[in-house]
Amino acid sequence: MEHGKKYEFGDITWYPSKHTAVYRYDSRVPMDTPGDGINDFLGFQSNEILISKSVRASEKLFESTKSVNGECTLADTTLWYKKQIGNGLKNNGQIFTGYPVVGRQGKMQTSGSCLYSPKTRIDASCAWDPRIKGLFFYESTAIFTATKFGDFIKDVKKLRDLKPENFCGIDHYNGFLIRYIKASKAYLGQSEDSIVVDFNYYRADEASTPRLNQDVMEEVEQMAFFKYGARPHWAKNRNLAFLKVQSKYLNFNMFIAVKKQLDPENMLSSEWSDEILFGKEGVGSDGCALEGLCICSEDRHCSPSKGYFCKPGLVYSEARVCRYSPSSSNL
């Protein structure tokens, strides 16, 4: 909280498996301060297609062989490289030579250079471009009331301490990105000062394929949205994050009234958008919990044929997660 209030654009990236937190100190400076820096965030840079494919192939190998050590090696390599290049900050628009990095607001608070890559570079692309079979991942974003955020972190630490390496999959992507935001008067804005937490994690090519340590990600997800009542980011998250979302916004009914007034025939709505806006849980079909379409209540909602069964959370016991438990298949 102190960091967020002191630094207007500051944030913290927490890597649980490494017991490491990276604080970003980001402030305004006088207009005549010299510097031509940019924020070319690593995740939004154009990458050689071969590299993106290689990383994805490594992820799939570690997933299929259930190699936690492999995931941790990938996380170590990613964190080392981020540190060397300042996570994409560039002092002169070309390379990172060290801190501080000074630049114009529009180039320091935005990033996305892969959108402007030369069309002649047919060997490079955005890492998540579906045409190249590159990275494929989930992104969960929870918005916490400031008074509840500390207890959430303590619970995640308890879960981490049981087996730190189970968080390497999250740390390989970007750990937990934590930001402070001020209250907003928008209908679906935050009515009080809040903390935003983003975390990404591996997504399988096929919806029916379970993931290594997916029970950890699911427990963190349910802990955030149900135990601590975090509000979901409207443009991110899996479906289950939106369950009972209308009860989390004081002005939700006012928003719906305005929506009906401006769009009486629901031209701008769809079955999918209604599922999100009204927090409808999907039908409990086989494997529905693997993609976050439901919270498992039966083993068939996971993948019992592949050794994944519906189990209680390890720290948040009310959570129901798909945990790899091959011995259960013999019962």
The predicted-structure confidence for 282-316, as pLDDT tens digits, reads as follows: 678 999 999 999 999 999 999 999 999 999 999 99
330 — pLDDT class (breaks 50, 70, 90) = very low
End-to-end Cα spacing for the chain = 48
Tell me which residue of 223, 213, 212 sits closest to 317, measured CA to CA. 223
Q: What mean pLDDT do residues 199-209 have?
A: 95
* β pairing state of 231-232 and 320-324: unpaired
- Using alpha carbons, select from 241, 233, 164, 174 the residue that is nearest to residue 201: 174
Find residue 138's DSSP bridge partners: 201
Q: At residue 111, what is the residue type? A: S
Query: Which residue do the tokens 């047919």 mark?
Result: 122
Question: Helices in 47-117 by DSSP H: which ranges?
Answer: 49-65, 68-84, 105-108
pLDDT at 328: 64
Which residues are registered as beta bridge partners of 124? 48
Are residues 219 and 319 in contact, defined by beta-carbon separation less than 8 angstroms? yes
Measured distance CA(208)–CA(290) in Å, rounded:
7
User: Mean pLDDT, to the nearest integer, of 272-291?
Assistant: 86
User: What stretches of 173-296 adopt beta strand conformation (E)?
Assistant: 176-181, 194-202, 231-232
- Say which residue the tokens 């769009």 belong to: 263
User: What is the pLDDT, as a whole number, of residue 294?
Assistant: 93
* Cα(78)–Cα(168) distance, integer angstroms: 11
pLDDT score of 1: 86
Nearest to 55 by CA among 39, 120, 63: 63
CA distance 153 to 199: 13
Joined tokens for residue 85: 């290049």
232 in Cβ contact with 242 (< 8 Å): yes
Task: Return the closest-CA partner of residue 63 out of 206, 163, 219, 199.
Answer: 206
Say if residues 230 and 213 touch (Cβ distance below 8 Å).
no
> Rounded to 10 degrees, what is the CA torsion of 83, 180, 230, 280?
-80
pLDDT of 39-66, one tens digit each? Answer: 999 989 998 999 999 999 999 999 999 9
Report the amino acid identity of residue 61. Answer: L
